[in-house]
Structure 1
Amino acid sequence: MEDVKAYIESGVLELYVLGVLSAEEKAQVEAMAANNPAVKAELGEIEQSIELYAKHNEVEPEDSLRDRIMNSLVTNLGDDRIFKTKPASELEAKVVTLTQQKQSNFFKYAFAACLALLILSVAALYTVYNRLQDTQGQLVAVQLQSQKFSSRVNLLDRELNVLRDPSFKLIKLGPGPAGPGAGLAVAWSPSKKEVMIDMSRANNLKPNDKDHSYQLWALVNGKPVDLGVFDVTDSAKDMIEMKSIDKADAFAVTLEPHGGLPAPTLTNLMVIGKTEISAE
């Protein structure tokens, strides 16, 4: 509702009624009016207001002007000699008519001045509207940047809480058959059933391509339990939260097709470590 109010107050509807918008902007206004009753109603009120303004300031021609036009037509179509010479009193009346015509011209000039002022106001509104659009775009960019920063702060705060929480155990995973020299650390809280991978301690795990994913497993009584998939990139240094579990004899990571598999591919075992083995 606030966006609709701001759109109405931006002045674009007045520009539409005056016909100074581009075809694309005109189409946007018509789409807004079709989809929003408030915009359509405001557009109708603006059109009615401008129409009333024009009627209020219109100039009616004088009655004597009709006689002059008709006499001129008759004179051109007929013989001027059939018309009698007008008395002096009528000529004096014409002088009065000229005075009234000057007064009429005053109103015309006043209307022209008002129209010019209206055009200048519309131009100013158009400029303000464009600046408002630019400001809104900048505001959206700032909001997105703020959201990213806030998410980053929340993540760092989460990692700090994990490191400070004594219920978390840091499990060091050593190289498996398919990952010589590889290593990884898993933070696990059995009481909270939370498992997180510390990517800052990922060693010699090559970044996976779009067709493969790394998959974390928990070994419970000799059976593998899927704890979710994750990606490894050159810039990954954060902690990744995985699926929850409260019991595990060991953790292992395999390289699987994208999205993971129900059971691990043992020939692609990258790292593995028992839960009783911890690292500082």
Structure 2
Amino acid sequence: MDIKAYIESGILELYVAGTLSEKENQEVYELIQQHPEILQEVLEIEAAVVKLTAAVSPHAIDFESFKEKLNTDTKVVDLKPRKPNWISYTGWAASVLLAGGLLWTLNNKNKVEEELQTVSTEKQYLEIQIEEARGDLAATKNLLDAIRNKDIIAVPLGGQGDYAATYAKVYWNKADDTIYLDGEGLPNAPEGKVWQVWSLTLNPLTPTSLGTIDDFNTDDNKIFTIANANESQAFGITLEPAGGSESPTMEQLYTLGVVASAP
């Protein structure tokens, strides 16, 4: 569509004046929604009409004062103030109101659509939160079922040396080679450091890494599921550099606990 040619055709002036048919009005209205250039042209035409309407108003003529300034020998025609064509002005004003009403409708339609979109987005977000909550509840139930299993082995890990105030607890399910580590009694790992979990055999003392807990600081419940296929006799937790260590740093041994059934 040639927007420039359409604007120059004069149909927008007729639209503002309210002289188009209902079908033609609808066509122009739809084009206004689609093309910002047409909307801008309609606004400019309306502004010009309002300015013109405001400029044209009836002014009384002071005939007596005007007459005194004329030569008394001059024949003066008795002039009367010309009445403006109020029907014409009223038509323009009605057209302005009509176009303004259509633009108000357009603006409010956009606002309603935006509000509906906001409601839809909030509804989707709420649904996601509900699903996440359901997932959290299911995970919590599974965890509780696991640590309440009659065959689970609970191993308290007490604080060591300078870190006597710290503590943790391991729930070991030997049937599926899994431990559940409750690290609630450990502080957040400092920047550049991670907690590393160790499986230990005591005679001779042999540590085997069960991995690092990289998301410890951001985890809310501080309970972590860790694979353990070892014949563990004890469990320990040390603070190590990011990425972990091949062997535990004993000066950074925070907690240690012996499995009760160990000899």
> Which band: TM-score by shorter chain?
0.5 to 0.7
TM-score (norm 2): 0.54
Matched residue SS, 2:147: helix
Residue 161 of structure 1: CA displacement?
A: 0.7
Query: Structure 1 residue 149: deviation in Å?
Result: 1.8
Equivalent in the alignment of 1:4 = none
- What's the CA shift string for 1:200-248, capped at 9, x where partnerless? 4x2xx33322221111111247432221223666995442112332521
Match 1:225 to one of 191, 203, 208: 208
Match of 2:226 in 1: 242
Distance in 2 separating the partners of 1:228 and 1:15: 64
Taking every aligned residue pair, what percent have the same amino acid on both sides?
A: 19
Please give the secondary structure, in 2, of the residue aligned with 1:126: helix
Render the CA deviation track for 1:233-275: whole Å, top value 9, x for unaligned. Answer: 6995442112332521211100111232222111211111222
In the TM superposition, residue 115 of structure 1 has moved relative to its aligned partner by 8.3
Partner of 2:146: 162
Q: Secondary structure at the match of 1:242?
A: strand
Structure 2: runs of 5 or more not aligned:
1-29, 38-95
- Aligned AA for 2:171? A
- Mapped to 2, the partners of 1:235 and 1:181 lie a distance apart of 21
1:263 aligns to what? 247
* Structure with the largest fraction of helix: 1
* CA 139–154 in structure 1, closer or farther in 2 if over 3 Å, else same: same
Give the deviation of 1:198 after TM superposition. Answer: 1.6
Q: Give distance in 2, aligned partners of 1:244 and 1:14.
A: 69
Amino acid at match of 2:35: L
Normalised to the residue count of structure 1, the TM-score between the two structures is 0.51
Contact 1:195 1:245 in 2 (8 A): no
For 1:29-68, what aligned pairs fall within 5 Å after superposition?
none
Seen in structure 2, the aligned counterparts of structure 1 residues 156 and 264 have a Cα distance that, compared at 3 Å, is same
Give the superposed CA RMSD. 3.9
Give the distance between the partners of 1:16 and 1:119, measured in 2 at CA: 10
Gap change, CA 1:161 and 1:246, over 3 Å in 2: farther
Report Cα offsets for 1:84-126 as digits up to 9, x if no partner: xxxxxxxxxxxxxxxxxxxxxxxxxxxx9x9889756644541
Change (3 A) 1:235 1:218: closer
